[in-house]
Copies of this chain bind each other. A is one copy, B any other.
Amino acid sequence: MRSPDELSDLFRASGRKVTPQRRRIFELLEGNSSHPTAESIYLELVKDMPTVSLKTVYMTLKELEEMGEVQCLDLGMGSSRFDPNVDGEHHHLVCVSCGKVRDFQLSQNWDLKLQVPDEMFSVSKAEIVFRGTCATCRVIGSRSVVENSDKVHIS
């Protein structure tokens, strides 16, 4: 994702307006590798802007997605996760215990798309989802389970 300043210019250049709400959402997303939900962005946003609405967050995220500045990930955990990391193709480690999502780069540069015969299916995106338990949860799990949290926090 581009910087808040660059995004602001891009928005204005395409006839969109740069509101304080949008500006703040850009800032919250910049360099955010926590794969936040719309809700978790909203919860940060509402600290500064008590009257902001969740709808605004959804709308801004959709704009950014359409502009290719964020990607929306559906990892089957109830809500969509938003990812400002769109420059390099990467995959995801999803912890089934705490819900955290981490980026993961394949060490070998396998071209997954080439696996599918083009006449059968024209692949536009190939993504691997690794489900399992993160290092933190493995330790916690071996001691007590009560502290495990499903909450998604923004970093």
- Chain A residues at the B interface, C-beta cutoff of 8 Å: 73-77, 80, 93, 95-96, 102, 104, 106-108, 110, 112-113, 115-116, 119-135, 138
Contacts and interface: CB of A to CB of B under 8 A. Distances in A.
A104 B133 contact: no
Given A119-B135, A121-B135, 8 more contacts: A76-B80, A102-B121, A107-B115, A116-B130, A125-B131, A126-B128, A127-B131, A128-B129
Contacts of A125: 130-132
Given A76-B74, A119-B135, A128 B112 contact: yes
Contacts of A131: 123-127
Given A75-B74, A76-B74, A76-B76, A132 B128 contact: no
A51 to B, nearest CB: 31
Given A107-B115, A116-B93, A138-B122, A128 B130 contact: no
A121 B132 contact: yes
A130 B126 contact: yes
A137 to B, nearest CB: 9
